[in-house]
Homo-oligomer: A and B are copies of this chain.
């Protein structure tokens, strides 16, 4: 089955202690769509400016991503620039130029409205609502978020939580949202806000699922070299949703493995700038790392 993915489609200029890469393909929806594309059809919803490089359109197409929902507006594509410290965990934003993103008001093509799996990747909660409003009874809806929306758009976000099957956020956001230091207490508090499934991402420490079947501790793939972690969280949730959409039968039967696939695609994402590594990986390499994670965690 298909996954509809809405989120940001951006140009990222990323500086690390080792290198500087201007105007990479970035944005939550780009990373998530590439990740999901390994498992089945993906429909992208986003907006770019008329400066958006053709090679990035071609890149989406190589991943067989449906671009009917990608608007091209006059003006500049959303441009984000950030710099990582040498531990590759701490980063600071150098620049945010919204460009055409400021006017983003997605109107879904007819062919998108019955997509069974919906991923509301990181974007303003009002836009996540707006997309969801146009969907006809999706089977499974997941959303990601970021610290900014918890700070500036909390009422919208809380209203969104009641419309989701799964909510994905990172550990510091879970703490920010609930005021709870302990992640397992935070998970319970987030369930009370609505979602049946809650996933907390913990970067190199993996992720935690809480759902009707209890907890799942999902490992991160061990990386000896992190080139650029930008988009790892988006790749995780994209890979997870892509895998889920490809599965037959109940969600609960696939969710753990879906997270592990998401985790592995996130690991590839970290090994290159932007989507450079993710777009070059094969399904066999992804399967290989999932198998390896199985071996690394069995006792």
Residues of chain A whose beta carbon lies under 8 Å from any beta carbon of chain B: 86-88, 181-185, 188, 202, 204-206, 208, 214-219, 222-226, 256-257, 259-260, 294-299
Contact = CB atoms under 8 A, between A and B. Distances in A.
Nearest to A87: B181
A129 to B, nearest CB: 32
A217 B296 contact: yes
B184 A223 contact: yes
Contact of A257 (B181, B206, B297, B299): B299
A251 to B, nearest CB: 14
Contacts of A296: 214-217
A207 to B, nearest CB: 11
A218 to B, nearest CB: 7
Contacts of A297: 216-217, 219, 297
Contact of A224 (B88, B184, B257): B184
A111 to B, nearest CB: 34
Contacts of A206: 205
Contact of A88 (B181, B202, B204, B217): B181
Nearest to A210: B222
Contacts of A218: 299
27 contacts: A86-B181, A87-B181, A88-B181, A182-B224, A182-B225, A182-B226, A183-B204, A184-B223, A185-B224, A188-B224, A202-B205, A205-B205, A205-B206, A215-B222, A215-B296, A216-B296, A216-B297, A216-B299, A217-B219, A217-B222, A217-B296, A218-B299, A219-B297, A256-B299, A257-B299, A294-B299, A297-B297
Contacts of A225: 182
Contacts of A259: 299
Nearest to A256: B299
B87 A184 contact: no
A182 B188 CA distance: 32
Nearest to A258: B299
Given A205-B202, A222-B215, A256 B182 contact: no
A20 B294 CA distance: 43
* Top 7 A-B pairs, shortest CB-CB distance: A256-B299, A205-B205, A87-B181, A184-B224, A184-B222, A217-B219, A217-B296
A219 B299 CA distance: 10
Contacts of A219: 217, 297
A299 B219 CA distance: 10
Nearest to A203: B205
A226 B88 CA distance: 29
A176 to B, nearest CB: 14
Nearest to A254: B299
Contacts of A208: 222
